[in-house]
Each structure stands twice: as C-alpha cells, then as structure tokens.
Amino acid sequence: MPGERKRKILFSKIYSFACWKPPFSDDHAQIGQRGFARVVYCNDPDNPEVVQLNYRGNYVSTTKYTAANFIPKSLFEQFRRVANIYFLVVAFVSFSPLAPYSAPSVLAPLIVVIGATMAKEGVEDWRRRKQDIEANNRKVKVYGQDHTFVETKWKNLRVGDLVKVHKDEYFPADLLLLSSIYEDGICYVETMNLDGETNLKLKRSLEATNHLRDEESFQKFTAVIKCEDPNERLYSFVGTLQYEGKQYPLSPQQILLRDSKLKNTDYVYGVVVFTGHDTKVMQNATDPPSKRSKIERKMDKIVYLLFSTLILISSTGSVFFGIETKRDIDGGKIRRWYLQPDDATVFYDPRRAPLAAFLHFLTGLMLYGYLIPISLYISIEIVKVLQSVFINHDRDMYYEDTDKPARARTSNLNEELGQVDTILSDKTGTLTCNSMEFVKCSVAGVAYGRVMTEVERTLAKRKGERTFEVDDSQTDAPGLNGNIVESGKSVKGFNFRDERIMNGQWVNEPHSDVIQKFFRVLAICHTAIPDVNEETGEISYEAESPDEAAFVIAAREVGFQFFGSSQTSISLHELDPVSGQKVNRVYELLHVLEFTSSRKRMSVMVRNPENQLLLLCKGADSVMFERLSKHGQQFEAETRRHINRYAEAGLRTLVIAYRELGEDEYRIWEKEFLKAKTSVTSDREALVASAAEKIERDLILLGATAVEDKLQKGVPECIDKLAQAGIKVWVLTGDKMETAINIGYACSLLRQEMKQIVITLDSPDMEALEKQGDKENIMKVSLESVTKQIREGISQVNSAKESKVTFGLVIDGKSLDFALDKKLEKMFLDLAIDCASVICCRSSPKQKALEICRLQDW
C-alpha cells in the first residue's frame, strides 16, 4: 500500500481515538432494528438479485490526477501560490502598451516554472499509478463454474466470490473467513499496513463453515451474508450468515481485511464481502493531499509583504506623476513643452490626469516587479527535485536487512526534514525490539530467575555498582543487590535461569502445587498454536504476540509442554510429581475471554481430566488484584513487592490467577454469555464484556511473570544525538512509572544531569480516597493535585531558564486524564514543551491518540 495512504489510515485511527468516537454510529446502532443494509449472495453469481445490487468492482485508484483532470487540477494547484498569480497577471498585462518590457521576458520564466512543477507532479502521480496497476493485477485463486479454483486478477473480483489465499499473500478484498488448513478454522493475520501493528492477529472462522476444506465441499455451498454498509471502522463488524437454514452472528474475528497479510497459515478460504473502494482500508484512505511545506507557506506571506511594498511604491509614484501631469497645462501655459502635453497620448494627457496616474500605477507594478523574483521559485523547484534524487541514492539511508533504500514519494516537503522539533514515539517496537524473553517470575510469594537485564545493568552503572557472578543458590530474591548470573540464552523467548524449578526440581519446592498451577495457566491460557517440525519433532509456537509465545515457551521449558489444540481441547505433556514421569493431559476448552486494551486481561474456561471446572486468568496488576477473593490474597504482598522490583528492572509484568467454578454457576453464566455472544445488535461487545466481568472475580493469586523487551540496537546513541540537535522526544507507553523511568535512563531519554518533574496521583492520600469510593470528591482532589503539580513544574522550569539545566517530565495515565482537560491542557502543554524529554506512562491508546492530536493542534 502506498506510504501516504498508510499514513492517512494511521492518522484516521489516531483521530478517531482522540475524538472519543463510539464504536458505532447512530445508523450502525440501528442496524439490528431496521435490518442489514448490505446483502451478499455467496457463491451464487447467477442469482438475478446479484445484478440488481450492482456493488462496486475491486478496482482501486489512489492517484491524485486522471488523464482528464490533470491539466486543470494541476494548474489550480500551481496558482494556489500567490507569486504565480502575480506573475500570471503581469504576463497578461505585458501584452499591453503599458509594459516597459516585452511579454516573452515575463511569460517564458512563468511557463518554465509551472511546466516543470506540473511535470514533477505528473511523474510522482505516475508512480502512484504504477503501484495501483501492480495491486490491481495481483493474482488470486477464485472458485469458478467448473468447481475448481483458478487464478484471476484482483480487479476482476466481485462481491460473493469464493477465494483461496495462501501464506504470505495479501487479502485482495474484505473477506469473510470460511475455513483454514487448521481443523479449528484459525489463521494468523499481519495488519501492519492497516494499523502499523507488527503483532499477528488471530482470526477464527465459524464452526459451521469449518468443514469447507476442498473444492468438492464448495460445490453445493451457498449462503447469504447480511451486514452493515461499507464504513471506515477497522475494528468493528456487525452482520449475520444465513447457512443451511440457520442464522449465525458474525464479528470482526471472522473478517479478513484487504491489505492485511496471511501469516503462519498455509491457506484459508473466504468469501468476498466488500470490494474496491468499499473496503475498510480504502474507506479510511483520503485523496492524496496537496502538500505544502512551512517554508512555501511562509514564502506566500513574504510575497504578500513584497506585493504590499510594491503597491506602496507604485501608488506613491503614480500620485506624484498625476499631480505633475495635471500641472503641465496651467491656465493655457505649457510648463514642460518638451513633453508636448498639448498633443499627448492617454498615458500623459494633462486633461485626463487621474486616468494617466492609474495607468502609470500599472506600469509601476510591472517595472518594480523584480521585487518578487520568479527566479527564486525556479531555483527552489530545481533544488527540491535534485534533493529527492540524492535522498533516493543515499547509501547511508539504505536498510540492508530488508534491502530497501530511502524513497522520497514527494519532493514538496524536503525542507521539512531539517525542522523537526519534537518526536512522539511509542516504546514497544520502536525503542525496543518487540522480541520478548521470559526472564523472571514470582510464584507463591517467591521470586525466581537470576538473569540480569539491560536496565539492571544500566542502573548498576548509574549507581556505581559492579555486575558480578556468585553462587545462585543463596537467595530467592534476585535484583540489583542480589545474586545475578549473566548467561547466554539457549532458547528464543526464554532467558530464565534458576535451578530451583528447572529440570523438574520444582517438585521439591515448599509450594510445588502452586508452581504446578502457575505453569499450567501459562501453558493453557493463550491463543497460540503448536507447529511441529516433521523432521526433528521439535515444537515451536505461532502466537498472536511475542509475550504470549514467551509464556508458552517458558511453560514448555519448565516441564508443561503444550503440544496440541482444537476448538474444544488443549493437550499438554506434564511431569507427574508422584511418578516422576511425563504424562499426557487433555483439558476440555469451553470458552475464551479474549484480551482487549480496555479489559487488560485474558481468561479461558477449561474442564480438567479430574472433571473440575476452572477459570484461568492472566492480566495487568491494575485489574487483577482488585478481583482476588479474600482467601486468594495469600501471596499478594510479596507478589506486589516483586512486581515493583521487576518494573524497576524494566520488565513487563502480568499477574496469574485462577478459580474453581461450580457447575450451577457455570451453567447460569454460560446462558448469559452465549446470549450476549450471539446478539446481532450494536452493543454485542458491551454485553460480552459485561458477562465476562461477572465470572472474572473471586480469583486465587498464583504469582506474576516478568518478560524483557530489549532495546533496539543503537537507541541510546540515537537519542543522544537527537538531544544534542535540540530535538525533544516524547515517549508514550503503557508501562508502570518505575519501568518507564528506568527504561528512560537505559535509552538516554533521561540523563544524570537532567532534573525530573514527576506528576502522579499514586499517593497514600489518593489511595485512601479511592477506598472510600466518593467519586466526586476523588475527581475534585485529583484535579487540584494535578493542577498544583503542573504549576510547581512550571515554576521550576521558569526559575532555571537562565541556567543550562534541562528537565524531564514524567506523568502517569491517571494524571494525564486531568492534564488533557480543557482547563489544564494549555498549562500542561506549556510545561511539556519546555522539557527536553517527556514520558507518559500507564497511557491508554485513547490517551496516546488524544495527546498526539493536542500537540499537533498546539
């Protein structure tokens, strides 16, 4: 997908978050009441109603111009420049006798400037056109009338067609997933072209269509999809599938969007729902904008100033000229006889002095027109084109890993490259590698894992401490002052060292039963799938996120190997503590309550071989500790202490818990959950979340995990150079404050000589207020506290302006909610802009988006 379209889609996503839009519009909310607007007849091209529906084709165009509108539209773009309008007017006037020079001397440079710029625009648009041609002519397999899948071009696809998409291929349109190579109908999708996320997304087909696995099974397949109209919402979809006399609700989990890519799955089958410009990716795209740099807009202002000066000079001259001309014949006496005023043309006629003065004014505009140099625009256009060529051939900007050089898609913004003032960055995948390694854990109040992290090494250097290796059997609380052994990793995603629980030694620990349950949760509570190497027999895992893969790998390395799954079961190889032998255990998978950014947790319901109903849950400490039962808080104090220590070491933490369910409780809840899940109204997601909330309670704490996401190579050096250049860096992250601060030091975002301004609502007084539950009082006190802290920060900055002291601002998510309020946002942004570095921790996606939009407006 062209980079400009991708950027626009990302900004659309950000802006929709920032404006706090509800996930459904009013029309969307009424779908369940008035019926669905779009009807798709699957695999039924001869149906007469298909012709009447007349849906768009799958041809797409992202170009700015067409052959018909190129000249008028491009000319309009050129004459948006004030100087070009002036030169055009002067060129027309130069054909009159008023001109003090020949017309070609003005017209030729204007034609050169406009022609060269139009040619440049045409070349850049032709490149977009070539990308469109390439995309429209990609091949995909479509189910034909001869009951086989044959290759056709993307642009020939129609709504209702059945397609087969292979691994590492892009989806040609918005598809409904019917089945995949896996029995449970799952597949993995990379949506980087849609939302910039590199993590794979798990998609799962309806159980009713899983049996459609070959060409024969599709011969009698017909179905009807009724769904919402085309819209730009990437993460919502409401519709139903009518198949074999039954109606099945559809959700975003069954939708494969155009320009996303199939990964880690050999092939999938799908039916086309939206095509071409009806697809969600194209609904998000906007027409290529007319890009104008700040310098170009500033030049327009300068031209206005020069033009005003030109008018002033010409007006002054014409006034005096008119006065002198009128006096040439005064009472019949000729003053300037040598000008022959009694026989003058209209340009010097004393009897029509005002008209002569006006014509003199026009002549002055042309004569002094060199105040506005057209050569400047010619030079700038030539320089821009040459700079874009240099950028494309710059060896220092070549990225060897992906074999990609730099590519200037437009030359209009070259001068903006050197005017960056502030960089807004996420942490995961930008400052860090997004490659997680399981390094530590806390189980039953005991800390395990003795490997030193990057952040711990940085903090040790900052405190003047020395890293060393000692006997790792002396303490159960590794940390900066504990016994830390640096060791090379042997398994990707697993960098854990502790002889107390490795190699089956966990059975000798005091709380071996808790350790067993802890690693069972890691091996079961996920959406990963095992991939067995047929030659070596080794098992690897394809997961939705690197965190999830690291958990499953950790469970495997400790002795709880996840080796098989289906829609209804999960199979493990476990160590039996009694016999000391590996045994196979199959857990019946009942329901999966998926992780979302708002829920901050994931749960699965299983029935174990002993016929016990279990809810297994993992999630952020901010939502998990409040869901513990009174008798499930046995290890809470120690676990909190370890989580804080892990956060200081720059690690990502999750709390692990479980609970046993009663049969009656489960049956009552399941009815409510299935009713919510099969709802076809717009509030289905809210109903599902509400049902999940009712069962995810009274949990028993098992422990916490800690994974490390290492910094990208060269990040500290890069941030140092940006700081030396006076460029400010803002990092928006969901990490705890301690984690964010220590990673800030590790990547040079925070430095020793820098003074910290910390704005937080995590204080004993606020915790006491929250326990009282008086929301109005909490809001009032919180607002006052944030206001006071911002004012104190501004005071510190103002008092140090004469010195060379730099400041780093750290603010947590709770405080950010109040800081971005209309009453405080100006004061907060004034403070943030005066700081060299800003870290916003515990930020939600909406807060990140809102802050980006506020800064852009500012």
Determine which helix (DSSP H) or strand (DSSP E) holds 601, and give its type and residue range: strand 601-607
Q: Is 214 a catalytic residue?
A: no
Range 136-141, long-range pairs (CB < 8 A, 24+ positions): 136/58, 136/59, 136/60, 138/170, 138/172, 140/164, 140/165, 140/169, 140/172, 141/165, 141/166
**Which region holds residue 227: left if phi is over 0, alpha if psi is between -120 and 50, else beta?**
beta
Q: What is the gyration radius of the CA atoms in the chain, in angstroms?
A: 34
184, 300, 426, 476: which is the annotated catalytic residue? 426
Note whether 496 and 439 are within 8 A (CB): yes
Query: To which residue do tokens 């499930």 refer?
Result: 632
Query: Amino acid identity of 329?
Result: I
Q: What three-state secondary structure class fits 263?
A: strand
Cα dist from 411 to 123, 270, 415, 489, 614, whole Å: 11, 41, 9, 46, 60
**Which region holds residue 20: left if phi is over 0, alpha if psi is between -120 and 50, else beta?**
left
- Supply the DSSP string of 689-734, one letter for each residue: HHHHHHHS-SBEEEEEEEEEEEEPTTHHHHHHHHHHTT-EEEEE--
Residues 6+ apart with CB under 8 A from 424: 730, 732, 851, 852, 855
146 C-beta neighbours (distance < 10 Å), count:
8
662 C-beta neighbours (distance < 10 Å), count:
9
Q: What three-state secondary structure class fits 215?
A: coil
Residue-wise burial string across 168-204, b where 16 or more C-beta atoms lie within 10 A, e elsewhere: ebbbbbbbbbbbbebebbbbbbbbebbbeeebbbbbb
Residues 6+ apart with CB under 8 A from 49: 39, 41
297 C-beta neighbours (distance < 10 Å), count:
10
CA 649 to chain centre: 27
Residues designated as active site = 426
